[in-house]
Amino acid sequence: MTLTVKAFIKEFKSQFQSMYAYSYKEGSTEQLYNALGLYIKNYLSRNWKETKEDYVENSVKQVYYFSMEFLPGRQLESNAYNLGLLDTIKEGLNEMGMSLEELEEAEADPALGNGGLGRLASCFMDSLASLGVPGNGNGIRYQYGLFKQKFVDGYQVELPENWLRYRNVWETRNDKSTCMVKFGGNVWLEKNHLGYMEAKYENTLNVLAVPYDTPMVGYRNNVVNNLRLWSAEIPVEEEENYHTLEATEPIKEITQVLYPDDSNYEGRLLRLKQEYFMVSAGVQSILRHYKKYNLPRKNIPDKVAIHINDTHPALVIPEMMRILLDEEHLSWEQAWEITFKTCSYTNHTILREALEKWPIDMMKDLLPRIYMIIEEINQRFVDTTAPIYGDRITWQTAILQNGVVNMAHLAVIGSHSINGVAKLHTEILMEDVLKDFFELYPERFNNKTNGITQRRWMHLANPGLTRLLDEKIGEEWKKNPSELKVFKGFEQDEKTIKELAKVKFENKQRLADYIEELQGIKVNPKAIFDVQIKRLHAYKRQHLNMLHILYRYLDIKENPSKDFVPRVFIFGAKAAPSYMYAKQIIKVINSLAELINNDPDVGDKLKVVFFENYGVSLAEKIIPAADISEQISLASMEASGTSNMKLMANGALTLATLDGANIEIKDFVGEENMFIFGLSSKEVYELKAAGNYNSKGIYESNEKLRHTLDALTNDTIPGLNGEGYAVFDSLVNYNDEYFVLKDFESYIKAQEKVDALYRNTDEWTRKSLLNIASSAPFSADYTIKRYADDIWKVKQHSEQKDSVQPLDE
């Protein structure tokens, strides 16, 4: 039954009154938002219940996506939209004298992730539900999300992100489904009276894992899947042992913060605790739920797929073994077969520092039984591999090496599928990072290029574009993104080009207003909006972007009469709290921005905006207004990137190295519709192998570059306290790890091409149109379909089974 505006108003009023016992007219924005959120949650609860029941009644196979990060973004609008209620609610609120936009601002944007990895997990949740794939998320309900970023004198300052300060209307605490997770103590194996080996524990720290469930709403298909986030608590029966607040700390801290400070041992230990806590609770609850299917244990892999999102949840493998061995009393061989067939692993990065390794002693103390199992997995691996492949490969691929537990190796050995997240990345895994494993298990390796959900990143974030697309190509693209290609037919249609340019301009005007309101910087919406939004890391090379801005600034100062195409550089980026170099780059960009934005000689020609506290909600405002998408990582380093996909889908032209999914963007839209520069990954590998890179030589021989770099250290930029030197030093004196100087010249040339093209508005817009029309392959719906078919072997299980057609690539 469809909801009428009248019925909505009536029900909303009574919802509000039942919660607050006064009229909605007296409600604060937060209260009104809470009432609306709960109204929507009540509305969807029936579908939520029925989806769960349906899965069990039909014994369908379910996938469980284990991830230490989820970045869902605000859920009010997206849930209302997917339920098909958005227009009704908007109209109803307007009639009551409110607006959805205003209420939405009261919603916390849960920063339970760091960057692309967490956001990908949430795009996947949206696609799983929208495709009707039985899929669950499993993660941690961090009390504090990733820090709230502030700039003080241009420096990043980290404040606690207390996203749960007000109630979280979307979650349901589920006390019925708690689990117990054990840490430390002593453990030994003993035969019980039935003759089974049983693990005996003493002096363990017992932690109660309490699940908070959040509905993941499918797009107009009545499917509501589940995201389960775990919170650590003191077990009720042990409460009397905790006499002081201090004594409760070791338990409470487990789910207190995302990314504890990893610069010290305690912080690293806490992170390992978090990982095991999430994994153990998750696996226990899955195996308990499986019992509802009344099937033998050997059928687990037919009904359960567990996905390991990066190495963080790799302990799923020994934890599942532990339960099957110690609690279900299966033989090692039986348990291993089930575990291996159930688990699959995605690698998201080739950066060595991000491939986790835990000291053996730490693991042994914290998780004694798990360590015993890992030891045995390792021993059995060595025993089978060495006779066939020899000692060298066996040693290089072992799980236990040089006093550490190598989590990537554990994940690979215990998973039937290993995938990278873009074609190039998967190739690099096979040829370099996991080369030896590729030799051992070629059949396990596959590529699954990342994707994004068009629902959040186009339909909702860019209503102007969505309207234009609906008008030109009909609404089918909303269900089948591949229909976007029909838009290509409008490439030569002058009217459409003008209309598309108008949509972009309006989006830019809106962002310009927001910038002015937020930061007091007046930017010209006619300028090129040049956007780099992503985690701050040297390999992503925000400092290359900064050098170009500095170069441009000097050019403006030295050539006042030159005709510059106005440019607004927009950044959004957080730096990990202990990553000093990244923080220094932030400071340099901010000080440079301060100089440029206040220099009367510069005026409209150049502006720099660095948003504080970049996150999903900000991205939704920035992306529809972008003209240029900066994807400038050193080739081979960025596994995929996903902001590249979102920006492309919103009509930005990509300025990129041939890295990650930029290569696939090029394959789909054509090189002539983007700006490519820099070394290829092959050249990067060759340069590294040659070992003769000499950044100082480049500095000394390139006049333009020298002039720019010198400005970092000669007081051109006021307000710096050595940060300019630090960047200069790393690039010139410490041989420039990410080849910034090597790529500088070709980056500048690409930027000149950007300026030249922008002078021709129609030509620019035509390319923008082609980007939008070519963006469909990056729909997360397709990505999820490929995961479901090839890796998880789970079927779409809803009335809308056929809603996603195979993509004709």
Catalytic residue annotation: 348, 534-535, 540, 642, 646
Contact at 8 Å (CB) between 796 and 131?
yes
120 or 622: CB nearest ligand H2P: 120
Stretch that binds ligand H2P, among 44-52, 55-63, 441-449, 635-643 (CB under 6 A): 635-643
Using CB under 6 A as the binding criterion, the count of chain residues that bind ligand H2P stands at 17
758 or 778: CB nearest ligand H2P: 778
Nearest approach, Cβ of residue 116 and ligand H2P (Å): 3
357 or 479: CB nearest ligand H2P: 357
Tell me: does residue 15 bind ligand H2P (CB under 6 A).
no
**Which stretch of DSSP H or E encloses residue 429?**
none
Tell me: does residue 86 bind ligand H2P (CB under 6 A).
no
**Which stretch of DSSP H or E encloses residue 159?**
strand 155-161
Greatest alpha-carbon pair distance for the chain in Å reads: 92
- At 340, phi and psi to the nearest 5? -60, -40
Contacts 24+ apart (CB under 8 A), 556-563: 556/601, 556/602, 556/605, 556/606, 557/599, 557/601, 557/602, 560/601
Region 369-428 residues binding ligand H2P, contact defined as CB under 6 A: 421
Nearest approach, Cβ of residue 643 and ligand H2P (Å): 8
Tell me: does residue 646 bind ligand H2P (CB under 6 A).
no
Residue corresponding to tokens 């030569």? 492
447 or 480: CB nearest ligand H2P: 447
Tell me the residue nearest to ligand H2P as measured from the CB.
116
Strands (E), 423-481: 445-447
**706 CB-side CA count, 13 A:** 8
630 or 638: CB nearest ligand H2P: 638
x/- mask, ligand H2P, residues 730-759, rule CB under 6 A, reads ------------------------------
According to DSSP, the β-strands at 304-309 and 62-66 are: parallel
Helix (H, G, I), strand (E, B) or coil at 306: strand
Tokens linked to 213:
């469930």
Secondary structure letter of residue 284 according to DSSP: H
Tell me: does residue 122 bind ligand H2P (CB under 6 A).
no
Nearest approach, Cβ of residue 660 and ligand H2P (Å): 5
Contact at 8 Å (CB) between 399 and 410?
yes
660 or 724: CB nearest ligand H2P: 660
Tell me: does residue 115 bind ligand H2P (CB under 6 A).
yes
Nearest approach, Cβ of residue 308 and ligand H2P (Å): 13
Integer Cα distance of 297 and 153 in angstroms:
60
Nearest approach, Cβ of residue 273 and ligand H2P (Å): 22
- Among 37, 73, 92, 116, indicate the residue that binds ligand H2P (CB under 6 A): 116
Stretch that binds ligand H2P, among 75-83, 111-119, 713-721, 746-754 (CB under 6 A): 111-119
- Among 313, 641, 678, 777, indicate the residue that binds ligand H2P (CB under 6 A): 641
Tell me: does residue 647 bind ligand H2P (CB under 6 A).
no
Q: Go through the chain and tell me how many residues it has.
A: 809
Nearest approach, Cβ of residue 361 and ligand H2P (Å): 28
Contact at 8 Å (CB) between 129 and 123?
no
Strands (E), 437-526: 445-447
- Among 132, 615, 660, 678, indicate the residue that binds ligand H2P (CB under 6 A): 660
348 or 508: CB nearest ligand H2P: 348
Total H helices, total E strands in the chain: 31, 23
68 or 595: CB nearest ligand H2P: 68
Nearest approach, Cβ of residue 518 and ligand H2P (Å): 24
- Among 349, 406, 496, 768, indicate the residue that binds ligand H2P (CB under 6 A): 349
Region 441-480 residues binding ligand H2P, contact defined as CB under 6 A: 450
Integer Cα distance of 551 and 142 in angstroms:
42
Contact at 8 Å (CB) between 604 and 524?
yes
- Among 9, 210, 639, 770, indicate the residue that binds ligand H2P (CB under 6 A): 639
120 or 338: CB nearest ligand H2P: 120
Integer Cα distance of 21 and 307 in angstroms:
45
Integer Cα distance of 150 and 140 in angstroms:
25
- Among 41, 182, 348, 583, indicate the residue that binds ligand H2P (CB under 6 A): 348
- 377 Cβ contact list (under 8 Å, min separation 6): 317, 318, 321, 336, 399, 410, 413, 414
Nearest approach, Cβ of residue 418 and ligand H2P (Å): 14
Contact at 8 Å (CB) between 176 and 158?
no
Contacts 24+ apart (CB under 8 A), 750-757: 750/655, 750/675, 750/676, 750/677, 751/548, 751/552, 751/655, 751/675, 753/675, 754/528, 754/530, 754/628, 754/653, 754/655, 754/675, 755/528, 755/564, 755/565, 755/567, 757/653
Stretch that binds ligand H2P, among 30-38, 41-49, 113-121, 276-284 (CB under 6 A): 113-121
Nearest approach, Cβ of residue 500 and ligand H2P (Å): 27
Tell me: does residue 535 bind ligand H2P (CB under 6 A).
yes
Tell me: does residue 638 bind ligand H2P (CB under 6 A).
yes
Region 543-572 residues binding ligand H2P, contact defined as CB under 6 A: none
Nearest approach, Cβ of residue 114 and ligand H2P (Å): 5
Tell me: does residue 311 bind ligand H2P (CB under 6 A).
no
The residues that touch ligand H2P, with contacts defined as CB under 6 A, are 114-117, 120, 348-349, 421, 450, 534-535, 638-642, 660
